[in-house]
């Protein structure tokens, strides 16, 4: 199925959880997950499955002025 990840369309398998994505992409700890405009706390990552046309933003805090 197609989902948007960080603004880019990606083909991903069905039955993919947020936790799977975090693991697969080797994301930094304390990454912030914004799924369809809602921030998901880490406790919900293993139980939240991606659905077709989801808009997933993976963001983090970096240096800035």
Partner 1 sequence: MEDKLIIGDKELNSRLFVGTGKFADYSLIPRVIKSSKARVVTVALRRVDFGTPEENMLNFLPENIVLMPNTSGARNAAEAVRIARITRAAGCGNWVKIEIINDQKYLLPDNFETIEAIKVLAKEGFTVLPYMSPDLTAAKRMAEAGAAAIMPLGAPIGTNRGLKTRELIQILIAEINLPIIVDAGIGRPSEAAEAMEMGAAAVLVNTAIATADDPVLMAEAFGQAVEAGRKAYLAGPGATRQFAEASSPLTGFLRNG
For residues 13, 18, 23 and 28, what is the CA-based torsion angle, rounded to 10 degrees? 140
| Contact call for residue 7 and partner 1 (CB under 8 A) | yes
Q: Which is nearer to partner 1, 1 or 31 (CB)?
A: 31
Pick the binder of partner 1 from 28, 46, 47, 55 (CB under 8 A). Answer: 28
CA 32 to CA 40: how far, in whole Å? Answer: 8
| Contact call for residue 65 and partner 1 (CB under 8 A) | yes
Pick the binder of partner 1 from 6, 36, 46, 47 (CB under 8 A). Answer: 6
CA 54 to CA 65: how far, in whole Å? Answer: 32
């Amino acid at each position: 199925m197609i989902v948007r990840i960080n603004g880019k369309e990606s083909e991903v398998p069905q039955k993919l959880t947020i936790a799977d994505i975090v693991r697969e992409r080797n994301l930094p700890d304390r990454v912030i997950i914004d799924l369809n405009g809602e921030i998901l706390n880490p406790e919900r990552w293993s139980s939240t499955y991606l659905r077709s046309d989801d808009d997933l933003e993976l963001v983090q805090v970096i240096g800035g002025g």
